[in-house]
Structure 1
Amino acid sequence: MAELVEIGSDKSITIYADPATIQRIGSKVIMSEMGDFKSTNATGGKSFLSMRKQQEYECKDKQMRTLRINLYSGNMGRGELVHTDHQSRNWEPVSPGSYGDFLWRTACKKP
């Protein structure tokens, strides 16, 4: 990931976007993002502190879906890769005021 832009933070996570990864295809945009957790989470018995996701955004219809998720044992995408999921999810509407909304705005902003 190149230069990350902090999108928002709360007591459990800080969300970053990577605008340098933006790929535009018609009204759709693919962009990478990272979530950095403030405490350990677990999946399948493996602990993780950060996740990198590749998201696809439908700019015209204000929807998003996850294309890929990688979970890492350390903060900021460092450490061991403990889980990966490359199964595309279904499209979901972007909720106003959510982290997804801020990410959608970053991805769909006119160049």
Structure 2
Amino acid sequence: MRKVFFGLTLMFVSTGTMAEWTRISESDRKGGSVLHADQSSLRKAAGRAKMAVLFDYQTLQKAAGAEFLSEKIRREYNCQEKQIRTLAYSLFSLNMEHGDLIRSYNQPQKWEMVKPDSLEEVEWKVACSE
């Protein structure tokens, strides 16, 4: 009985955190990366959208003493003003948000204009499209 209960508990915990990552772009910057969006996390209201994205790096990244291969970011997009800001992020030791959680930050940042022909513009288009 304990094994069944433990298995069911583990199933509910795991499925609650699983994202549906869809590849939306790639880049040669930072040693190469693939950008994924979790469109199931997309929420829209009052001309704004929120969505989770994942940068999956081909080479080990280093920032402020942390080494990581994937970066999950929760973003907010101002669809009318073409702006973007980070709400939270998490760094993981392995690709596709696997491995150890290296660092996590949950503090909304300032709004920034979306730069033309950037990965942020790709995200903005996915999040703000009708």
Which residue, out of 89, 98, 106, partners 2:118?
Answer: 98
Q: CA deviation at 1:87?
A: 1.3
Give the RMSD, CA atoms, in angstroms: 1.1
Shift of 1:80: 0.3
Separation of aligned partners in 2, 1:109 and 1:39: 31
After TM superposition, the structure 1 = structure 2 runs for residues 1-111 of structure 1, keeping only pairs within 5 Å, are 1-11=18-28, 12-110=32-130
Structure with the higher fraction of residues in helix conformation: 2
Moved more, 85-94 or 4-13: 4-13
Q: Which runs of 5+ in 2 are unaligned?
A: 1-17
Per-residue deviation, 1:24: 1.2
Structure 2 Cα separation of the partners of residues 30 and 83 of structure 1: 21
Q: Once the two structures are superposed, what CA deviation does each residue of 1:32-65 show, in whole Å capped at 9, x if it has no partner?
A: 0000011101234331100100000000000000
Residue 95 of structure 1 aligns to a residue whose secondary structure is coil
Identity of aligned residues (%): 32
Q: Secondary structure at the match of 1:30?
A: strand
Q: Runs of 5+ in structure 1 lacking a partner?
A: none
Structure with more contact order per residue of length (Cα contacts < 8 Å, sep ≥ 6): 1
Instruction: Report the Cα offset of residue 85 of structure 1.
Output: 0.9
Task: Return the index of the structure with the highest Cα Rg.
Answer: 2
Q: Select the structure that is richer in strand.
A: 1
- Three-state SS of the structure 1 residue aligned to 2:108 is coil
The TM-score normalised by the length of structure 1 is 0.93
Give distance in 2, aligned partners of 1:29 and 1:55: 8
Q: 2: distance between equivalents of 1:36 and 1:70?
A: 12
Q: What TM-score, normalized by structure 2, do the two folds share?
A: 0.80
